[in-house]
Structure 1
Amino acid sequence: MGKDSDKMYITHSEWSTLDFGHGGFKNRKTGKEFKKLPFHCCALSLSPFETPRCTKDGLVFDLMHILPWIKKHGTNPVTGEPLAASDLIPLHFHKNADGAYHDPITFKVFTDSTHIVAVGTTGHVYAYETIDELNVKTKSWKDLMTDEPFKRKDLITIQDPHNISNRDINAFHYKVNDLAKPEEDSKINAKGATARILAAIAPSKPTTPAKDLPITPSYVPKKSTTQNAAHYSDNSAAASFTSLGSSAVTQNKAAVLSDAEYLTSTVKDHAFARIKTNFGVIDVELFCDVAPKACYNFVQLSKNGYYKNVPFHRSIKNFMVQTGDPTGTGRGGKSVYGHTFGDEFKGLSHNERGILSMANRGKDTNSSQFFITYKQCKHLDGKHSIFGKITKGLEVLDKIEQVETDDGDKPKKPITMESIEILVDPFEKALNILKGTDPETLKKAEEAAARKAKKEANDRVFAPMSGGSEIGKYFKKSVDEESSDKKRGLEEGSSAAGNEYENAERPKKKAGSSKFDFSSW
């Protein structure tokens, strides 16, 4: 029978070789480990980029770090080949509502295993599968965001999960040759255009010590009040109970609503606005009680000047006219929330001329674009959010409808929305109430405080002053009366003491000799 040769201990050969990966050999490695550079990091600073620029090879750098390097070395820090500032291509990465980089067409989030490419002529970054499906296979060589034409050779690979050899940090030229660190290079003095660019993008240095600096406002927790407190908790207690990474919390606290969430859930009044166009003035009423998100978005964008000189880029007779895109292409626009927001269908219908409704690309994709109906369009019910209607100026809408358009429904004569004036803003009043700056609320609070002070003063006047039970206890006694009462009390006390002394029985002497009398012991 064979014998088991496995030992119950580590042999010398196992300890000194790669067998079983034992610790004796673990620390004696012949080469450096592979370290992959994340796609969202600068290849020079190895930190997340803020102003991305790339080369034709797909190497991404942060403008603030690569310009000083080029100024000093004139080479590509990764490959060591000559590189000029004019060779850098600006990139446009897109983020979702959670702040993650994603494809702007399919909205798929980029990961370390995503094949990412950029269009060299425009700089827009997409997932390769999007370009392959919509450009390569259809042979439609136009940028999906701007319709700008490009060629296959203009595609730049930012990240290829099947070829990661060029993303090995330890193989970078400045790492292998131990060149100056990026933070040291950023200290060189730049001149001319480079200095202006660096001054524009470089963050300002704090003049006070870090310990004395205020906390970043985005990280300061909001204080909950009776107005902006949610009907659900902030989950801090549950998180502390289930996660060791959270601080201990023993009480549930109500979550704090943001200003937008609070306003869109409390405002029930209608807003009114005036749209000034190059054809005339249109007055509109906004249904803040039915479509609060769309109305708040419209009001805030109007007050911020977002709609100033925005064209009506699409007009179809007997249907509608569309606007709200500053680019005038129908593909742009951004909501006040920083991302698209949900639809609001609450019983309203496109049943008349002059209805204001949100334009979208599908479900819950509302931004800044909206349209005005030329006639009833009930087939749009349940697809587009109605948030207002025209109250005055339908004759201006008639003039706009008569403008001729080309084959793409674009007006041949410019139709411009010069400005929007908000006449009545219920959101501002609600926000002032939340912050405690509303004039009417302050006036009511002052009146309530005055009534309370008056009531307390009356209570002090009619309260018992002496604490006694005799007649006149509610009237304050004078100083003379109080002193006489005290004197009278002392006299009464002394006479009582004298009578008590006089009436006291004196001790009687016992008969007999007082010597050696121990009877009283």
Structure 2
Amino acid sequence: MLHLRPTEWAQDGRGFKATRWTPFSKLPLNCCSLSLQPFDKPVATRDGSVFEITYILKYIKRYGKHPVHGGKLEVKELIPLHFHKNAQGNLHCPVTFKVLGNNTPVCANIASGHVYCLEAVLELNKKNKNWNDLMTGQPFKWTDIVMLQDPDKIEGREVSKFYFIVHGQQDEVVREITNPESKASLQKDDKLRPNAAVSRIFEEKERIAEKKAQEEAEKEAADPEAAAAAKAAAAEAKAKALELEEVRVRVGGDSRCMAQCADPPQYVLGNFKDYYGIRNPGGQDPRLPWLSETIDWQGKRVLDLGCNSGQITWSVAAQGAKLVLGVDIDASLVMEARHTTSSQISVAGRVRFICRDLLRLKLRRKYDVVLLLSTSKWVHLQHGDEGLKQVFRRCRRWLHPGGVLVLEPQPWKAYKKVADAHADIEQTWREIRLRPGDFVDFLTQVLGFDRAYRPALPSIATAHAVLEAKKSGAGYTSNEVGASFTSTAAPLKSNNELRKLTEEEELQDIYDQVRKKKRKGYVRMVTSHGCLNLELHCDIAPRTSDNFLRLCEKSYYDNTIFHRLIRNFMLQGGDPTGTGRGGESGFEGGKPFKDEFDSRLVHQGPGILSMANNGKNTNRSQFFVSLKSCEHLNNKHSVFGRVVGGLKLLEVFNNWETDPKDKPVKEIQLVRMEVFKNPFKETIEEMNKPKVEKVVDPVATWFSNRRDPMQGHKNRNSTQVGKYLEEDLLPGQKRPKEMPSEELEYANIAQKSKKARTDFDFSSW
């Protein structure tokens, strides 16, 4: 009797056959359930499936079934939807303005067609029993609410289980969707019987199409050649769009990635799944600090070619970039980048990723910065010199005038190492004539860049130079080495040099010394009605105090007036124009300086000296003295001093009358400022004084005699051995009287003797 093993039974017999595993792919919220691409005119069914109106009508005409679950479906069951978008073009709830992501519960009110996040409907409708639509006010029932996306129930959004894909209808669907001839007869077909809402959609689309055709006819009449070129470009774009549509329907994975990369080339280089971990296993990409130091990303449009998993891409967006587009050839890395970016709320709407080959990439938008990091080597080895030159030309075309190309070429030895490991690219490597060292000449001489440089990570020599710079006192380098390796807008440099400190950096050392020594400043303010003595908190608000002292010493405030007086609030002055709109700071160029806030300095009580400003970091010369507590100004105006003499004069000023513009009726003139103590000048003088070496005291024990008995000896300063030994006496010469030794000196001290007490008895007990 023969025995069948389980493997033989499963393979040759009728045993259990394991089903083929299909990767899970969830349909994005903004995509049609039939074409698997973003919709334009969406309609929905009662089960929550969303379709593009044009595509679903064609499918119903041919099959009469629901493309998701296969049930019967008629045109009259379609419900027109109204999705709302924010300024960034993302779908959002029109009530809460919350972005509708792929994991957000989303519902639609079929009575009005408006789409909301579920939270808004539950809180504002169901909880409050408000059965009126949030946008139109139209009455509705709870049964009119249809869930379009429920994160807890994703069965209806799993692409691989859609009816038309499981039953192999995708090829026919593609032909129907991309067939322009069937569109003309779509609305005329009697079998469809479109309802009034669908008819209105078609009428609107026809009206827009007629208007567009009329505009094109006018342009063609004005410039026939340009119109012909535009038609050719439109035809090419349409053909490519139809090709992508076909790919999107056929694939079963992420429709957005796979449609753009239907048949991505498989390279032996690049496509590292853990690229950032390879470069820096402990954390972020080490190039980020260098890029942040070199380029100001605020408001920039950035193109990241070879973005990998997108760490640099969304990091650049987090630093203020207006728009960042990441491009990579590996669809799995693009999907990972999108997943990571979806959790970065601060960059939502400003980062986008696409899966493309750099040599096939076509972009219409121009960018301020193009990043080409760690990408040139594999392009060079796969496509040779011409392929890399083409990428460089595209980068030049995608840049705005004055834009920056950030390039990180790999050393030639890295090329050879890869070529030795992969025989199929060795021939391409041998034919390369444009070496990495020649990239600069090609970019500047051929493509017209002003300057071109290569990025590099900090080397040991660079780090050593920075440490030496800090020891020398400057503490800062010119950053020319980092700029020359990361930017095309700086000259080539290989040695770090110390740069001159800025005014702010020079002052910071002085301020640190004043803080450390806790020094105060003192000024007398002489007015036309009396004097006020001021104490300045130079140790807590050094920059603001320094500005005030500078202006006082150069007589900036002399013969000015206090132009504003508000009873029980404050007295303001410091404006030479007397209008409240003038004044300059005491620093270079009179530019405004930053605020200085400290929890120890508050507007509590009268006599607080504080800076007047017209916004954040706009301090110049104007100041005010509080007449009462005004703690609502804390952390808005910088407190830097207080009145320590003359508070009674402030009480007098507080009772004076003012005009409707809060100007004192009786003029208060600031005659002059008398500086009694300026700790900043004292600190500068101390820092400029030559350092005197401190004489170290001779080591001695606590009981020793600190007198130097040999101080008057004639050989005291001699370096000869035995200088204190007695010399031989000449004939007839007498030896001088010996000095008492230390023992004799202490022995001659009289000791107190205790007297015996003899008159003691117990009579006092």
- Shorter-chain TM-score: which interval? 0.3 to 0.5
TM-score, normalised by the number of residues in structure 2: 0.28
TM-score by length of 1: 0.41
Could you say which structure has the greater relative contact order, defined with CA pairs below 8 angstroms and 6 or more residues apart? 1
